[in-house]
Amino acid sequence: MRYISTRGTAPTLEFDDVLLSGLARDGGLYIPESWPTFSQEDLVRMSGMSYCDLAVEIIAPFMTGSAALNKLPQLIEAAYAGFGHPAVTPLRQLEGNLWLLELFHGPTLAFKDVALQLLGQLFEVVLEARDQRVTIVGATSGDTGSAAIEAVMGKARATLYMLHPKGRVSEVQRRQMTTVDAANIHNLAVAGTFDDCQDLVKAMFNDQAFRDRHNLAAVNSINWARVMAQIVYYFWAGLALGAPHRPVAFAVPTGNFGNVYAGYAARQMGLPIERLVVGSNHNDILTRFLDSGTMAMEGVSPSYSPSMDIQVSSNFERLLFDLLGRDGAAVTATMRQFREEGRFTLDPASLAQATALFQGVRFDDEETLAEIARRHTRDGELTDPHSAIAIAAARSTAKGSVCPLVALATAHPAKFPDAVEKATGLRPALPTRLADLLDRPEYALDVPADLAHLEGLIDDGDKVAQQGAPTI
């Protein structure tokens, strides 16, 4: 399998290079040159498989030529051994045709673990095979950070710098990152938004000398391997609900567009997906785009679902590449316009192609709390605000639908206790292994949203490594 950049001018790479390279050198994102596909017969054969066996089937075609390919079954078993549910991502019926796919049973209680636990394993094997080290730079609005830290802490061949927007993640999310005291982990609390953090990470990748000097790698969903691992649970849920014989739809709480793009990839690979519902909070750039064809930045303000407080959804570029006929030059021009003018408008034919599959819905904070309260009253279950948006998105679009509709539960309610308590009067407890999280010392460095400052810090890595004392 070879990978091409959405901007069309970066070198075509094999899987292991894509795994280690993050953003493509032309500023684009890597995607497979062609989609591996599964026939009806393949899907029937796969429908009784365990999560891990299914993951091997789906992931192996993306990894041809990889140093990790022959160890893939063991790596997948190891990645999911620490999940708190034997099904890895259990599927539960909510009501009638509505289902909930619980993606939060990993070590950091969010769906990011599904991909990052595997990524940690892949990094280790490929870096070992190449006798190489990497410096990982990442941006988080709360969940990628702790999942990436959990996946790479203590690994000899990787140092991780994780940027989060100071004061804009939940206390539990922040502490899950900043209480990890490992020599290869550095938390940077940026004075800015998640978009600022993500821009800084991309700027570091686009600084070719800096990138080469540090052998930069990525843990965000700009890294293809993140998306690849997330494709599996779409197949898992779809096959459990009757695919390939009947189609299925998904409602996905969306920020950086990585999760819902994995659903799109599953569809390209043969899973009969009828619809992908993109759920947003009041930071609703994607909903506005799907309604109007214009992607327009309007700023971001904090919400009860902070992990979705994003306005530049990185992975949208991967979809855009297909919508624009896989024309890298057209993607480059569109993304340049978006950066320079803060907006672009898609031509009607491309928009129609997008809206034939994607539907956008938005829920503000009050509606999010109402959905959390509604489920609690009905089922006695506590729901995190992101998952609540998925459920609300599923319910609001279910009318008249004959196929099963799966809402993706992306985080455990204990990550967002304030919102859950506001909605239900109940404060969800953290699992026992995190019970003393609020008492542990925190390690993080306050930094400005300034590229030169951050690059200097990483160049002079000792400064961060020697921070020692708690800084929050």
Binding site for ligand PLP (CB under 6 A): 110, 142-143, 221, 253-259, 307-308, 386, 410-411
Q: How far apart are CA 211 and CA 143, in angstroms?
A: 25
CA-wise closest residue to 454 among 183, 137, 24, 28: 137
Residue 80 burial by Cβ neighbours in a 10 Å radius (0-12, 13-18, 19+): buried
Q: How far apart are CA 112 and CA 101, in angstroms?
A: 14
27 contacts 339 by C-beta, under 8 angstroms:
no
Instruction: Name the amino acid, one letter, at 7.
Output: R
Q: How far apart are CA 179 and CA 205, in angstroms?
A: 27
From ligand PLP, ligand LJ64HWYM, none, interface partner of 412 (C-beta below 5 to 8 A by class): none
CA-wise closest residue to 286 among 313, 323, 320: 313
From ligand PLP, ligand LJ64HWYM, none, interface partner of 122 (C-beta below 5 to 8 A by class): none
From ligand PLP, ligand LJ64HWYM, none, interface partner of 253 (C-beta below 5 to 8 A by class): ligand PLP
136 contacts 217 by C-beta, under 8 angstroms:
yes
143 belongs to the binding site for ligand LJ64HWYM (CB under 6 A): yes
How many chain residues are in contact with ligand LJ64HWYM, going by CB under 6 A?
13
Q: Which of 6, 89, 117, 141 binds ligand LJ64HWYM (CB under 6 A)?
A: 141
The CB-of-3 to ligand LJ64HWYM minimum distance in angstroms stands at: 17
E strand map for 209-284? 216-218, 248-253, 273-280
How far from the centroid of its chain's Cα atoms is residue 214's Cα?
24
Cβ distance to ligand LJ64HWYM smaller for residue 100 or 110 = 110
| Cα distances (Å, whole numbers) of residue 276 to 202, 229, 267, 453 | 27, 18, 10, 40
Catalytic residue among 112, 155, 166, 202: 112
Q: Pseudo-torsion of CA 89, 100, 354, 280, nearest 10°?
A: -110
Q: Which of 192, 255, 263, 279 binds ligand LJ64HWYM (CB under 6 A)?
A: 255
383 contacts 391 by C-beta, under 8 angstroms:
yes
The CB-of-77 to ligand PLP minimum distance in angstroms stands at: 25
The CB-of-125 to ligand PLP minimum distance in angstroms stands at: 25
* Binding residues for ligand LJ64HWYM restricted to 164-223, rule: CB under 6 A: 220-221
Cβ distance to ligand LJ64HWYM smaller for residue 247 or 255 = 255
Instruction: Name the amino acid, one letter, at 307.
Output: S
Cβ distance to ligand LJ64HWYM smaller for residue 135 or 307 = 307
Q: How far apart are CA 25 and CA 115, in angstroms?
A: 23
Cβ distance to ligand PLP smaller for residue 100 or 126 = 100
Number of H helices, E strands in the chain: 20, 16
The CB-of-320 to ligand LJ64HWYM minimum distance in angstroms stands at: 16
Q: How far apart are CA 187 and CA 79, in angstroms?
A: 24
Biggest CA–CA distance in the chain, Å, is 60
The CB-of-351 to ligand PLP minimum distance in angstroms stands at: 20
The CB-of-401 to ligand LJ64HWYM minimum distance in angstroms stands at: 27
360 belongs to the binding site for ligand LJ64HWYM (CB under 6 A): no
Is residue 468 classed as helix, strand or coil in its secondary structure? Answer: coil
Cβ distance to ligand LJ64HWYM smaller for residue 144 or 303 = 144
Q: How far apart are CA 438 and CA 185, in angstroms?
A: 19
8 phi and psi angles, rounded to 5 deg: 85, -5
Cβ distance to ligand PLP smaller for residue 396 or 467 = 396
From ligand LJ64HWYM, ligand PLP, none, interface partner of 314 (C-beta below 5 to 8 A by class): ligand LJ64HWYM
Quick one: which segment of 32-40, 96-104, 140-148, 354-362 binds ligand LJ64HWYM (CB under 6 A)? 140-148
314 belongs to the binding site for ligand LJ64HWYM (CB under 6 A): yes
Q: Which of 135, 307, 334, 387 binds ligand LJ64HWYM (CB under 6 A)?
A: 307
135 belongs to the binding site for ligand LJ64HWYM (CB under 6 A): no
The CB-of-349 to ligand PLP minimum distance in angstroms stands at: 25
Q: Is 112 tagged catalytic?
A: yes
187-201 as b/e: b if 16+ CB within 10 A: bbbbebbbbbbbbbb
From ligand PLP, ligand LJ64HWYM, none, interface partner of 146 (C-beta below 5 to 8 A by class): none
From ligand LJ64HWYM, ligand PLP, none, interface partner of 155 (C-beta below 5 to 8 A by class): none
Residue 37 burial by Cβ neighbours in a 10 Å radius (0-12, 13-18, 19+): exposed
Cβ distance to ligand PLP smaller for residue 257 or 338 = 257
Cβ distance to ligand LJ64HWYM smaller for residue 222 or 392 = 222
Query: Annotated active-site positions, please?
Result: 112
Binding site for ligand LJ64HWYM (CB under 6 A): 140-145, 220-221, 255-256, 258, 307, 314
